[in-house]
């Protein structure tokens, strides 16, 4: 199989599909549409053997200067375990290194062993100095 990571806005319906079928929580149509419109950076994984179907994604959100967050790292189950998470992170890392100022703080929430992937790109656990918290509306 052949894959390519590209900077590409993702249609909000495809965004919803990727999240839900990759095990992430669902988003309403309104939230998905606004979220995609307000992304700093979107990376899509294209399956070149299947008419460039988008099979994975990752995004950076935030103000682009002081605070950003890596979000929505996901790959459809049938394409997992093929290095696509690493491909996503390489492309997002390229964007961060080229576009974010030196003092920008970039955070993420790592699920399970995904922390091992993110550590390869300089992310460190913040506990016990800090504790991540969240709220869903």
Tens of pLDDT, residue by residue over 99-137, are: 999 999 999 999 989 999 999 999 999 999 999 899 999
pLDDT higher than 90, residue 1: no
Backbone dihedral angles phi then psi of residue 85, each to the nearest 5 degrees:
-60, -40
Secondary-structure class of domain 3-119 per CATH: alpha beta
Tell which residue, 22, 61, 65, has the closest CA to residue 43.
Answer: 61
Per-domain residue ranges for the chain?
Answer: 3-119
pLDDT higher than 90, residue 8: yes
CB 44 within 8 A of CB 57: yes
The enclosing H or E element of 107 equals: strand 105-107
* pLDDT tens string 24-69: 999 999 999 999 999 999 999 999 999 999 999 999 999 999 999 9
pLDDT higher than 90, residue 4: yes
């Amino acid at each position: 199989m052949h894959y390519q990571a590209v900077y590409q806005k993702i249609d909000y319906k495809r965004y919803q599909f990727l999240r839900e079928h990759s095990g992430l929580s669902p988003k309403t149509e309104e939230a998905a549409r606004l979220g995609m419109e307000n992304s700093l950076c979107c990376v899509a994984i294209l399956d070149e053997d299947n008419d460039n179907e988008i099979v994975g994604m990752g995004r950076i959100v935030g103000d682009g200067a002081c605070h950003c967050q890596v979000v929505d790292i996901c790959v459809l189950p049938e394409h997992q375990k093929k290095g696509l998470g690493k491909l996503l992170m390489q492309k997002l890392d390229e964007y961060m290194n080229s576009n974010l100022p030196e003092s920008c703080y970039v955070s993420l929430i790592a699920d399970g062993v995904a922390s091992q992937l993110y550590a390869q790109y300089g992310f460190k656990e913040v506990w016990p100095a800090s504790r991540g918290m969240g709220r869903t509306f």
